[in-house]
Amino acid sequence: MERIPILRMGGLLLVTIQVDMHDRLAMTLQDDLTERIVRDRAKGVLIDISALDLVDSFIGRMISNTAAMARVLDAQTVVVGMQPAVAITLVELGLTLHGVKTALNVEKGMALLGKTNF
Amino acid sequence: MERIPILRMGGLLLVTIQVDMHDRLAMTLQDDLTERIVRDRAKGVLIDISALDLVDSFIGRMISNTAAMARVLDAQTVVVGMQPAVAITLVELGLTLHGVKTALNVEKGMALLGKTNF
């Protein structure tokens, strides 16, 4: 598969990361997502990482960068479904996802982004 | 990755298929999904296949079987995001996904499953 699908739900975009990210896939996701935020006038982005058992600094930076890009396009990003081991690794790597909101699952993430957006 | 994540949104479950399915992954998905339908008392299942450029008879049967399993557990299945080439292939393979509802995207799929469920 070449791309990670971006699903639109009302004013929100949902991305589920299931595969190991490599450079090109991450770049494609960032391109696609920024384009979709503008095209769909999205106010929020949910990134589900519940399928990730582990993260490295590349993924951590990719999430931070994606959130920063969304923010300058006036969309809030919420990372949902983080596994405990991933949280531990991120902090150990010094990646505290500054400025990125997190929620336990998609439902709570949608609530955080405000039901009015949905 | 060992599993395909199943996201709960209200009374619906959302599965995004992004990776090439092999036997074991398909079996795991069916096990997980049936368990989640019961546990979360889900009334609907959305299977997003927008990332699939092509399908073979294995995937086609897997989708049919999953929908049949959901049905006996009193949950409706909607397949969303099918690409035109996939529709052509499915029909050519003789897999018309009998009894499976389809919708253009997640939003329309949710509407089909009834907003009251959400």
- What tens digit of pLDDT does each residue of B91-104 get? 888 888 877 899 99
B8 CB neighbours in chain A (<8 A) are: 105-107
Weakest-pLDDT range from A20-24, A26-30, B36-40 = A20-24
B27-83 pLDDT tens trace? 899 999 999 999 999 999 999 999 888 888 888 888 889 999 999 999 999 999 999
- What is B6-117's CATH superfamily? STAS domain (3.30.750.24)
Cross-chain residue pair B18–A10, CB shorter than 8 Å: no
Task: Select the residue of A3, A48, A52 nearest B7 (Cβ to Cβ).
Answer: A48
CA A49 to chain B, closest CA, distance in angstroms equals 9
Q: What pairs with residue A39 in β-bridges?
A: none
Q: Do B81 and B104 form a contact (C-beta atoms < 8 A)?
A: yes
What are the tokens at A87? 């949280």
What pLDDT score was predicted for residue B103?
94
Q: Residues of B at the A interface (Cβ-Cβ below 8 Å)?
A: 1-5, 7-10, 14, 16, 18-20, 48, 50-53, 81, 105-107, 110
pLDDT band at B116 (very low <50, low <70, confident <90, very high): very low
- From A107, which residue of chain B is nearest by alpha-carbon distance? B9
A84-106 pLDDT, tens digit each:
999 999 888 888 887 789 999 99
Q: For residue A23, with 0-12 CB atoms within 10 Å meaning exposed, 13-18 middle and 19 or more buried, which class applies? A: exposed
Going by pLDDT thresholds of 50, 70 and 90, the confidence category of residue A117 is: very low
Q: For A115, which DSSP code?
A: G
- Which residues of B fall within a CB distance of 8 Å from A20? 1
pLDDT in tens, A43-82: 999 999 998 888 888 888 888 899 999 999 999 999 999 9
pLDDT score at A33: 95
* pLDDT above 70 (res A115): no
| Interface TM-score (ipTM) > 0.90 | no
Query: Given this model, what pLDDT does residue A26 score?
Result: 87
**pLDDT score for B18:** 87
A107 to chain B: which residues are within 8 Å by CB?
8-10
Strand locations in B10-85, DSSP E? 12-16, 44-48, 76-80
**Could you tell me the pLDDT band of residue A1, with boundaries at 50, 70 and 90?**
low
Best B16, B54, B78, B104 residue to mutate vs chain A (most A CBs within 10 Å): B16
Do A9 and B106 lie within an 8 Å CB cutoff? yes
Residue A18: predicted pLDDT = 87
State the smallest CA–CA distance between residue B71 and chain A in angstroms.
Answer: 24
Find out whether B10 and B117 touch, Cβ atoms under 8 Å: yes
Residues B36, B9: Cα–Cα separation, whole Å: 12
pLDDT band at B8 (very low <50, low <70, confident <90, very high): very high
Are B9 and A51 within 8 A, CB to CB?
A: no
Give A37: exposed, middle or buried? Use CB within 10 Å, 0-12, 13-18, 19+. buried
**Alpha-carbon distance A57 to nearest alpha carbon in chain B (angstroms):** 18
Task: Count interface pairs A-B at CB distance under 8 A.
Answer: 71
pLDDT for B115: 58
Distance (Å, rounded) from C-alpha B77 to C-alpha B46?
6
